[in-house]
Each structure stands twice: as C-alpha cells, then as structure tokens.
Amino acid sequence: MEITEVRIHLRNEARLKAFATVTFDNAFVVHNMKVVNGNKGLIVCMPSRKIKDGTYKDIAHPISNEFRSKLEKAITDEYNKSLEGQGNAAPTSASTESEY
C-alpha cells in the first residue's frame, strides 16, 4: 500500500498540534489522524471514537509495525514541513508509544 498524499491541518493547542488526512493508493482516504505532543515528543494517534465504557477505540489502524512506522514518518515529515513553511522550529520525531 502506497501513501500517496498527506495533508496537515495545524492547530495551536497545548497537546494537539495537527490533524492529518492521508490518502492511500490514490483510492482511499483516512481523516482525523492526530499529531499530539506527548511526554516523549510527538506521537501520531489514529482516528478513534468513544465507546460506551468511556474508553476510545481506533476506527482504523496499521496492522504491522513496519507500516505504522512508515505512516508515522510520512505524517511527521509533512508536519515538520508545514511548520517550516510558517517559520516555526521543527519538534522531535514521532514516538510509537500511546501517551495521549
């Protein structure tokens, strides 16, 4: 599966830094991925919804660690480019730990 487009929608909040929209194979799009400032740097959170017990469950997520890493890198690289375009310093790279 090829990542064909990553669009970043910057936010100016303490933890939430951006939303990402990712297109795969020019055929399938996933909205509402989050770039979050976690305890150990940036993390990428998959789109999720709140379930009855009050916890959140991912709506879509990578199956393999290899693809998760590829997806996180594509999103954080585009996030950093968006920041550079606005004259902001680039933050640290993404972490795979769930800190949000």
Task: State the chain's mean pLDDT as an integer.
Answer: 89
Total number of residues shown for the chain: 100
Residue 64: per-residue pLDDT: 97
Which residues on neighbouring strands pair with residue 22, listed in sequence order? 6, 30
SS3 28: strand
Q: Would you say 76 and 92 are in contact if contact means Cβ atoms under 8 Å apart?
A: no
Instruction: Determine the topology of domain 3-95 in CATH.
Output: Arylsulfatase, C-terminal domain (3.30.1120)
Residue 12: per-residue pLDDT: 87
Q: What is the reported pTM?
A: 0.82
Break the chain into its structural domains and give their ranges.
3-95
pLDDT digits (tens, 9 = 90+) for 71-81: 999 999 999 99
Give CA–CA dist 66/97, Å, rounded: 15
